[in-house]
Amino acid sequence: MEEVKAKKRFLSKYSVFDIIIIAICASLGIAIKPVLVPLVHIITGPLFIPGGAVAGGFYMLFIVLAAGLVKRPFSATLECVVQAILVIVTGVIGSHGIMSLATYILPGLFVDLFLLIFIKRKYGILIMFFCGVLANVTGSFLSNVIFFRLPIVPLMVTLYAAAISGGLGGVLAYYLVNRLRKFNPAFKDAIITKNEEKNVRSKIVILISIFTVFVVGLGVFVFLNNDNLDEKQLSQKNATVTVSFKDEKREFDLEFLKQFDIVSFSASLDKDGQDGIDQAFGGVLISDVLDDIGIDIDSDDDISFIAADGYTTVCKGREIIEVDNIYLVYMRDGKPSGTKENGGTGPIEVIIKNDQFFQRWCKFLMEINIQ
């Protein structure tokens, strides 16, 4: 009974109008993902920058927008709770199953904790900027911890890209609120307007300086992440994969994989709120390949799969040892996977059957690191 009363007291802080704004922001943030993510990947793929981290800044701006428009304690968290429920129930792109409760809610919670410092003040452009950075970096870091477990250099590339994108999203949210306040007096106390903002030039200089630091940091880590890039691109052209194990390096190519009996299987692609779409694959168990080239895997080993575009996913040795789980695939729906240049997903890719949301599948496989 006391818990029910506490919930009522919490929700009583929000007007019906506030709840509507939060619901709209949550819905727009989810709806924009299927459109935005593929478009961003078209741009970020050739630049070897993580597409998800870049796209995140522009759908997480709705978290900042909700906080700026409603301006009540934990309004960003409430918006994220609505988003988490939506993706779990509908299964739209970006759903992480029950883990969505963490990956979606915590970015909003961190934004709200940050905003508690300024609860009695209007939000200026710098505050909104840092809200965007905090939301996107938190979301990207949580996705890494739960799904990808990237090595330090690819992780830093992801976080720097997330900071830049999130900051831009926060600035965009600031200007959106400025526009919206002209049409509804309910928003008049939300943020500082451009006319009310003090020391505008100095704040713009600060923003530019921060962006410059982020961009330089991103450039450094992209450079480090793409060491020997020409060699890796040539490796894809020749359909070869390098395996780094301890102090040794070994290679195999597509013709080597074809010497094994091909295993045909299907995996379900659950996305966009639709029922699972079964897709047919053909390939070889990665455990058979590693055994054949003389590499023994322990259950606690960390295995990184590195793609031609710098994308990296990680699994544990126990997942490779598991029967009928991780495959090196070179056929999709009865056709060769093809290269990135030809619009394909191969020539060799990694498919993890037991990865429910295919977050760790790796197209354009170039290198396998075992530690």
For residues 117-130, average pLDDT: 76
Q: Distance between CA 233 and CA 303 in Å, rounded? A: 21
| pLDDT (tens digit per residue) in 260-294 | 888 888 876 655 444 556 778 888 888 888 888 88
Please return the burial class of 342, using the count of CB atoms within 10 Å of its CB with bins 0-12, 13-18 and 19+.
exposed
Can you give the pLDDT at residue 272?
43
Decide which of 225, 242, 271 is a domain's last residue. 225
Q: Quick one: tokens of 299?
A: 């259950």
Total domain count, the chain: 2
CA dihedral 293, 297, 302, 305 (to 10 degrees): 30
Percentage of residues in the chain with pLDDT exceeding 70? 70
Structure pTM? 0.66
Average pLDDT, the chain: 76
232: pLDDT strictly greater than 80: no
244/214 same-domain check: no
- Residue 110 covered by a domain: yes
Compute the average pLDDT of residues 122-147.
82
Q: Do residues 157 and 51 share a domain?
A: yes
The 10s digit of each residue's pLDDT in 299-313 is 778 888 877 766 777
Is the pLDDT at 140 greater than 80? The verdict is yes
What's 196's domain CATH number? Answer: 1.10.1760
The pLDDT value recorded for residue 15 is 79
Q: Which of 209, 225, 241 is the last residue of a domain?
A: 225
User: What is the distance between the alpha carbons of residues 82 and 171, in angstroms, rounded to a whole number?
Assistant: 23
The predicted structure's pLDDT at residue 309: 66
The residue-averaged pLDDT of 58-69 equals 86
**pLDDT, greater one: 288 or 147:** 288
Helix axes 100-115, 125-143, angle to 10 degrees: 150
**What letter represents residue 18's amino acid?**
D
Query: Which residues are bridge partners to 367 per DSSP?
Result: 242, 306
359 and 281 in one domain?
A: yes
* Cis peptide upstream of residue 347 (ω within 30 degrees of 0): yes
* Collapsed DSSP state (helix, strand, coil) of residue 103: helix
Is residue 122 one of the residues assigned to a domain? yes
Residue 2 reports pLDDT greater than 70: no
Within a domain: 6: no
Q: Which range marks the domain in which residue 43 is found? A: 11-225
Token pair listed for 270: 């659950």
Same domain assignment for residues 168 and 140: yes
Question: Are 133 and 172 in a shared domain?
Answer: yes
- Mind giving me the DSSP string for 24-87? HHHHHHHHTHHHHHHHHHHHHHHHT--HHHHHHHHHTHHHHHHHHHH-STTHHHHHHHHHHHHH
Is 296 among the domain residues? yes
Calpha distance 180→71 (Å, rounded): 14
Q: Can you give the pLDDT at residue 273?
A: 43
Asked if residue 259 belongs to a domain, the reply is yes
Determine, yes or no, domain membership for 46: yes
Q: 60 and 158 share a domain? A: yes
**Model confidence over 90-112: pLDDT tens digits?**
665 555 566 777 788 888 899 98
Q: Collapse the DSSP code of 189 into the 3-class scheme (helix H, G, I; strand E, B; otherwise coil) and give the result.
A: coil
- pLDDT digit string (tens) for 235-259? 666 777 888 887 788 888 888 888 8
Residue 272 or residue 157, greater confidence: 157
Which of the residue ranges 15-19, 211-215, 249-253, 284-288 would you say has the lowest mean pLDDT?
A: 211-215
**Is residue 217 located within the same domain as residue 285?**
no
